C-alpha cells in the first residue's frame, strides 16, 4: 500500500484518503486540496458551496469525509445531503459514526432514509436504532414495507436471512421472456441492481434462474423454461453467513437465492454482501489470533480498545502464573544451574511459535471448509513430521550455541533435546486442539488466541526443566 | 461450522465434503454415499457409470472429489470429463493438484481446455505450465487468442492486469440500445457472464457504463448516452490486487473496468476474482502473523510445511538468543533472587500478547486503507492510554499474587511495575513499528510475525531485570 503521491506532501496535506495511484474516476475524486476546502467550508458553514461540491462526490467518499469530522460537523454535513444520497452515505460510514448520527437524526429524516434503501440495508440501519425510534420509524413506513422489515428483523444478523434483500424479480415457469422482463420492470424502480430473474412453479418453488443477458438476446415469446438454468444452488434462511460466503466462493456465484423450508425464494444475497462477510470473518479470525475480542477496529476509542484486549490478557496472565508455579517447583534445580534460566525464553518462544503456526493453518482450513474431517489423520501426521524436521534443525543449532557458550556438552544436549520435544509437542497441541474443539462443536478459532500459546508455555517449561532434572542433574 | 448430519455417521463415511445443512441444489449434491460409490467405480475403472454420475455434478464438486484422489486416479477421472467441464474443474482444483495434472496432460488436451476458458482464467492456467508446454499451446491456439494470452501473460499476476478478463462488450457513445445489444451478442458465445456494456468515445476512451437491466427496459432506438452511467471508476493495469479489492469493496462494484494509460478499456475484473483476492490477502496476513511463509495451505505436503515455517522459527531462535544474553548479563542478580526467574514467563508473554494485539490491528488497518496516515498520532495516543489501563490492572493483580506468594512487598512492587512498563512499551512498539515500516515503503505485515514478539521478549526481559537491579537489589 505505498503511495508515491504522498512523498512530496507535507504532514498537514496527508489528509485521510489513502489515495491509490492508478485508480481513477470520471467524477470528482476526493483529493487533499478538495478536502482542505471542505474543512474550511464546514467551519464557515457555507452551505451552498458545500452542496455544490457534494453533488459531484461518490457516496463512499462523502462517508470517508464525514468519518473524519467531529460529531457536530459530521451531522451538519450529513444534513445537507438529499435523502437518496444520505442513505448511501449512511451505509458507508464507520459503525460508531453511524450510530452517533442515527441517535441525533429526527424520525422524519430517518424514515426518509430508510425508505430509500433496499430491504437488506434498511433492516441493518433499523437494527442499529434504539427500540423506541425503530418502532416509531416502522410505524411511519408504508404497511407493506414495514411488514417486510419486521420480518427481516426476526432473522439473526449473521445468517442468510439477515444478509438477504427481499427485492427480486420472479416469473412463473410457464411464462415467456416478456413476463420476465415485466417482472424486472416492476422492481426496477425499487432497486437498481438486478442481474437475474428467479423462475418458480405454481407452488412458488424455485425451479431455475434466467440471466438478464439471455432475456436480451432471445426472440420475443420464448418460454422462460427454454432459457432458464435449472441447476440452482440455494440456501435456507438459517444458514450461517460464513457458510454462505464459502458456497458463493466455491461455486463462483454472483447472487444466491435464499429459500424458506418449502424451497420458495424469499430473498437474495449479492456478491457485495459477501465481500464484506469474507472481510469481516477474516478480520474476526485475525483479532481472535491476536487475542482481541471481536468488536474493535482501527477507529475504536480508548475504552473499547482496553475492553477488547483485557480478557485475553487475563487468560494469558492466569496461564503464565501456572508457568511460574512450574518454575518454582524446580527452584532447587534452577539455583544449582542458573544458566538453565537463560534458555527459558527460547524454549517458551519456540514452542509458542510452532504451536501458533500449526493451529492457525488448521483453524483457517476448518473455517473455509478446505480441511475436512476425514483428513485429520493425514494432517496430523504431516504436522508431526514437519515438526520433527524443524525441531531437529533448531535443536542442533541450540546445542551448538550452548556448547560454544557454556562449554558443557551434556547440558547442551539436554537443552537441545528439550527444544526438539517442546517444538514437536507444541506443534501437535496446536494442530490437535482446534480439531478437537471442532468435534466438540466449539469454535476452533478459540485455540489460536493466547490460550494455546499459554498452555504451550507451561507445558514447554515443564518438559525443559523435567529433562534437566532427569537427564542432566 | 458444525454439521449435525455428521453425528450419526461412522468415521469412514465422513468423507471429504464439509456439507452444510441448509445449502441445497437442484443438481445432485455430492454426499457421502455418492462419494463412496465414486471411489468404488474409480477403483474398478467403470468409465460409463462414472460419466453418468459426473454429468450431474457441479464442477466445483468434481474438483473437490479429484482433490482427494491419488494422482493416478485423479488423472483417470479428469480424463473422463468433456473439455468444457474439464476446464471448469481445472480452475477449481487445489493448486498443487492442478500442477500435477497439467504436467501429465497431453498438449492436445491442454489446448482444448485453454480454448474453453475466459482469457483471465486461461492465462492463469498457461502460467502454471512449464515454458516449453506453454509455448506449444500458445502456438496451437488461434492467432488472435494466442496474441491476447501473450499480452495478458506480460502483466504481473497480482495486479489489475493479471486479474482482468479481456472479453467485454463495447459500444460507441453515439450508438443506440440496439448497438449495445449487438455488442453483447457478439461476445455472448465466448463468455457466459456479461453484466454491463462499456461506452467509449471515438478515441476509445471510456465514457460510461450501461447496465443490462436498462437495455432491457428502454424503448428501441434510445441512444446509449441517455442511459449510461457516466460516473465511472476504473483502475490502470498496474494497480495492485489488494488496492483493486479495496476499491471494489469501498464502492460496492460488481465489475471494475481496467484501462490503459490513455483511459481506454482493456479488460474487466469481476466480483468473483475479488472474493478470491480478499480471501487470499487475509490468508496471507494470517500466515504472516503466525510466522509462516505465504505458500502453504491445508493440503501442503510435509516438506512445504517444513520449509514454510523454518525461516520464522530461525528468526525467533536468533531473537531469543538475545534474550538469553540479556538473562546471562543479569546472572549474578538472578542467582541472588531465584524467585525473579519465576516471573520471566509472565513478563515475556504479557509483553508479547500486548504487542501482537496492537500490531495486528494497525497492520490490518493499513492493508484495508481504514487507517490513514493523518490519524497516526490519534491512534498511537489511544493505544498508549489503553495500554496503561490494561497494564495497571494486570500489574495490580501481579503485585497481589507476588505479595501473597513470596510475601515480599518490595519485590512485588518491582515485578508489578515492570509488568506495567513492559505492557505499555510492547503496545507502543507493536503499534509504531508497522506504521514506521509503512512509511519506509516496507510491507508492514512483517511486523506481525514472530519479529515483533521476539524483540518485545528481549526488551521486556531487559526492562524487568533492569528494574529489579535498580529498584529491588
Give every CB contact of residue A48 below 8 A, 6+ residues apart in sequence. none
Give every CB contact of residue A353 below 8 A, 6+ residues apart in sequence. B291, B312, B313, B316, B450, B453
In which element (H, E) is residue B24 found?
strand B23-25
Interchain pair A290, B360: CB under 8 A: yes
Domains of chain A plus CATH, in order, are 4-158 (1.25.60.10), 170-286 (3.10.580.10), 302-472 (1.10.357.20)
For the stretch B310-365, pLDDT in tens is: 888 888 888 888 889 999 999 999 988 899 999 999 999 899 888 888 888 788 77
CA B115 to chain CA centroid, nearest Å: 28
Whether the CB-CB separation of A391 and A465 falls below 8 Å is answered with: no
- φ/ψ of residue A209, rounded to 5: -135, 140
| Residue of chain A with shortest Cα separation from B430 | A290
Return the bridge partners of A172, or none.
A200
Q: What is the DSSP annotation of A234-294?
A: EEETTSBHHHHHHHHHHTT-SEEEEE-TTS-EEEEEEHHHHHHHHHHHHHHHHHHHTT--T
Q: How far, in Å, CA of A465 to CA of A471, rounded?
A: 10
What pLDDT is attached to residue A375? 61
Q: How far, in Å, CA of B188 to CA of B176, rounded?
A: 19
Q: Rounded to a whole number, what is the distance in Å from the CA of A132 to chain B's nearest CA?
A: 31
Interchain pair B22, A235: CB under 8 A: yes
Q: How far, in Å, CA of B332 to CA of B327, rounded?
A: 10
Q: Rounded to a whole number, what is the distance in Å from the CA of B136 to chain A's nearest CA?
A: 30
Return the bridge partners of B233, or none.
A25
Which residues of chain A lie closer than 8 angstroms to B430, CB-CB? none
Helix ranges restricted to H, A128-203: 131-140, 143-153, 160-163, 177-188
Q: How far, in Å, CA of B162 to CA of B152, rounded?
A: 7
Given A17, A306, A334, which is nearest B386 (Cβ)?
A: A306
Q: Give the pairing of strands B206-211 and B196-200.
A: antiparallel
Q: How far, in Å, CA of B86 to CA of B101, rounded?
A: 11
Helix (H, G, I), strand (E, B) or coil at B23: strand
CB neighbours (10 Å) of residue A175? 19
Q: How far, in Å, CA of A398 to CA of A417, rounded?
A: 9
Given A216, A271, A275, which is nearest B181 (Cβ)?
A: A216
Which residues of chain B lie closer than 8 angstroms to A23, CB-CB? 233-236, 239, 243, 247
Give every CB contact of residue B305 below 8 A, 6+ residues apart in sequence. A382, A383, A386, B296
Interchain pair A349, B6: CB under 8 A: no
Crossing angle of the two packed helices A119-127 and A83-92, in degrees rounded to 10:
70
Give the angle subtended at the CA of B332 by the CAs of B327 and B337, to the nearest 5°: 90
Q: Radius of gyration (Cα) for chain A, nearest Å?
A: 29
For the stretch B410-433, pLDDT in tens is: 999 999 999 999 999 999 998 888
Whether the CB-CB separation of B447 and B433 falls below 8 Å is answered with: yes
Q: Rounded to a whole number, what is the distance in Å from the CA of B139 to chain A's nearest CA?
A: 30
Q: How far, in Å, CA of B414 to CA of B464, rounded?
A: 8
Of residues A110, A48, A41, the one with CA closest to residue A69: A41
Whether the CB-CB separation of A383 and A358 falls below 8 Å is answered with: yes
Q: How far, in Å, CA of A78 to CA of A81, rounded?
A: 6
Q: Rounded to a whole number, what is the distance in Å from the CA of A319 to chain B's nearest CA?
A: 8
- φ/ψ of residue A327, rounded to 5: -60, -45
Q: Radius of gyration (Cα) for chain B, nearest Å?
A: 29
Q: What is the DSSP annotation of B425-453?
A: HHHHHHHHHHHHHHHTTS-GGGGGSHHHH
Q: Rounded to a whole number, what is the distance in Å from the CA of A237 to chain B's nearest CA?
A: 8
Which residues of chain B lie closer than 8 angstroms to A276, CB-CB? 249
Which residues of chain A lie closer than 8 angstroms to B449, CB-CB? none
* Straight-line distance from the first to the last Cα atom of chain B, in angstroms, rounded to the nearest whole number: 54
Q: How far, in Å, CA of A254 to CA of B195, rounded?
A: 10
In which element (H, E) is residue B239 found?
none
Q: What is the DSSP annotation of B321-363?
A: HHHHHHHHHTHHHHHH-THHHHTHHHHHHHHHHHHHHHHHHHH
Interchain pair B287, A194: CB under 8 A: no
Looking at B245-399, which runs of residues are DSSP E strands? Answer: 255-259, 265-270
Whether the CB-CB separation of A209 and A257 falls below 8 Å is answered with: yes
CB neighbours (10 Å) of residue A324? 23
Given B297, B345, B453, which is nearest A370 (Cβ)?
A: B297
- φ/ψ of residue A70, rounded to 5: -60, 160
| C-alpha distances out from residue B139 to A286, A287, B144, B153, Å | 46, 49, 11, 14
Q: Rounded to a whole number, what is the distance in Å from the CA of A140 to chain B's nearest CA?
A: 29
For the stretch B156-167, pLDDT in tens is: 988 999 999 888
Interchain pair A249, B217: CB under 8 A: no
Q: Give the pairing of strands B206-211 and B23-25.
A: unpaired
Q: Higher confidence at residue B293 or residue B237?
A: B237
Q: Higher confidence at residue B455 or residue A264?
A: A264
Q: How far, in Å, CA of A443 to CA of A423, rounded?
A: 25
Interchain pair A313, B353: CB under 8 A: yes
Crossing angle of the two packed helices A271-289 and B344-368, in degrees rounded to 10:
160
CB neighbours (10 Å) of residue A142? 9
| Residue of chain A with shortest Cα separation from B28 | A231
Q: How far, in Å, CA of A373 to CA of A56, rounded?
A: 53
| C-alpha distances out from residue B404 to A108, B335, B338, Å | 61, 22, 17
Q: Higher confidence at residue B12 or residue B247?
A: B247
User: What does the pLDDT profile of chain A (473 residues) look like in tens digits?
Assistant: 333 333 333 333 233 334 567 777 765 656 667 777 888 899 899 999 999 888 888 888 898 888 878 888 899 999 999 999 999 999 988 877 888 899 999 999 999 999 988 888 899 899 889 889 999 999 999 898 899 899 899 999 889 999 998 889 999 999 999 999 999 999 998 787 889 999 999 999 999 999 999 999 999 999 999 999 988 899 999 998 888 988 888 888 888 999 998 999 999 998 878 877 887 777 777 777 777 765 556 666 788 888 888 888 888 888 888 889 999 999 999 988 899 999 999 999 899 888 888 888 788 777 766 665 456 777 788 888 989 999 999 999 999 999 999 889 999 999 999 999 999 999 999 888 888 888 888 777 766 667 778 888 889 999 999 999 998 87
What pLDDT is attached to residue A358? 86
Interchain pair B233, A23: CB under 8 A: yes
Amino acid at each position: 500500500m505505498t503511495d508515491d503521491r504522498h512523498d512530496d506532501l507535507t504532514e498537514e496535506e496527508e489528509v485521510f484518503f489513502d489515495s491509490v495511484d492508478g485508480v481513477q474516476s470520471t467524477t470528482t475524486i476526493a483529493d487533499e486540496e478538495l478536502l482542505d476546502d471542505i474543512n474550511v467550508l464546514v467551519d464557515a458553514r457555507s452551505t451552498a458551496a458545500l452542496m455544490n461540491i457534494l453533488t459531484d462526490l461518490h457516496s463512499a467518499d462523502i462517508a470517508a469525509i464525514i468519518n473524519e469530522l467531529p460529531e457536530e460537523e459530521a451531522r451538519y454535513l450529513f444534513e445537507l445531503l438529499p435523502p437518496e444520497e444520505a442513505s448511501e452515505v449512511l451505509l458507508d460510514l464507520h459503525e460508531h459514526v453511524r450510530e452517533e448520527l442515527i441517535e441525533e437524526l429526527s424520525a422524519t429524516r430517518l424514515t426518509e432514509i430508510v425508505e430509500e434503501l433496499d430491504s437488506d440495508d434498511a433492516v441493518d440501519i433499523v437494527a442499529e436504532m434504539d427500540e423506541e425510534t425503530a418502532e416509531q420509524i416502522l410505524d411511519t413506513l408504508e404497511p407493506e414495507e414495514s411488514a417486510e422489515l419486521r420480518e427481516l428483523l426476526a432473522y439473526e444478523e449473521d445468517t442468510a436471512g439477515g444478509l438477504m434483500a427481499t427485492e427480486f424479480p420472479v416469473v412463473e415457469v410457464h411464462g415467456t421472456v416478456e413476463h420476465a422482463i415485466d417482472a424486472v420492470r416492476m422492481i426496477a424502480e425499487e432497486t437498481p441492481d438486478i442481474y437475474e430473474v428467479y423462475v418458480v412453479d405454481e407452488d412458488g418453488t424455485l425451479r431455475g434462474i434466467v440471466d438478464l443477458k439471455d432475456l436480451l438476446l432471445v426472440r420475443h415469446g420464448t418460454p422462460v423454461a427454454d432459457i432458464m438454468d435449472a441447476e440452482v444452488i440455494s440456501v435456507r434462511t438459517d444458514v450461517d453467513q460464513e457458510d454462505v460466503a464459502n458456497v458463493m466462493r466455491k461455486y463462483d456465484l454472483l447472487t444466491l437465492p435464499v429459500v424458506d423450508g418449502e424451497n420458495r425464494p424469499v430473498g437474495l444475497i449479492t456478491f457485495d454482501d459477501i465481500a464484506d462477510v469474507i472481510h469481516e470473518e477474516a478480520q474476526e479470525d485475525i483479532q481472535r489470533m491476536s487475542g482481541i475480542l471481536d468488536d474493535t477496529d482501527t477507529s475504536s476509542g480508548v475504552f473499547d480498545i482496553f475492553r477488547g484486549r483485557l480478557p485475553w490478557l487475563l487468560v494469558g496472565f492466569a496461564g503464565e502464573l501456572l508457568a511460574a508455579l512450574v518454575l518454582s517447583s524446580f527452584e532447587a534445580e534452577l539455583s544449582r544451574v542458573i544458566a538453565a534460566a537463560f534458555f527459558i525464553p527460547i524454549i517458551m518462544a519456540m514452542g509458542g511459535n510452532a504451536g501458533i503456526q500449526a493451529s492457525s493453518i488448521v483453524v483457517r482450513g476448518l473455517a473455509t471448509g478446505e480441511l475436512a474431517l476425514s483428513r485429520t489423520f493425514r494432517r496430523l501426521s504431516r504436522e508431526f513430521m514437519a515438526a520433527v524436521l524443524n525441531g531437529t534443525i533448531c535443536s542442533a543449532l541450540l546445542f551448538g550455541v550452548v556448547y560454544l557458550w557454556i562449554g558443557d556438552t551434556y547440558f547442551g544436549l539436554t537443552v537441545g533435546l528439550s527444544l526438539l520435544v517442546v517444538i514437536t509437542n507444541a506443534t501437535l497441541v496446536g494442530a490437535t486442539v482446534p480439531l478437537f474443539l471442532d468435534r466438540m462443536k466449539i469454535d476452533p478459532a478459540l485455540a489460536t488466541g493466547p490460550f494455546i500459546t499459554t498452555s504451550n508455555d507451561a507445558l514447554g517449561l515443564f518438559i525443559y526443566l523435567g529433562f534437566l532434572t532427569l537427564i542432566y542433574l
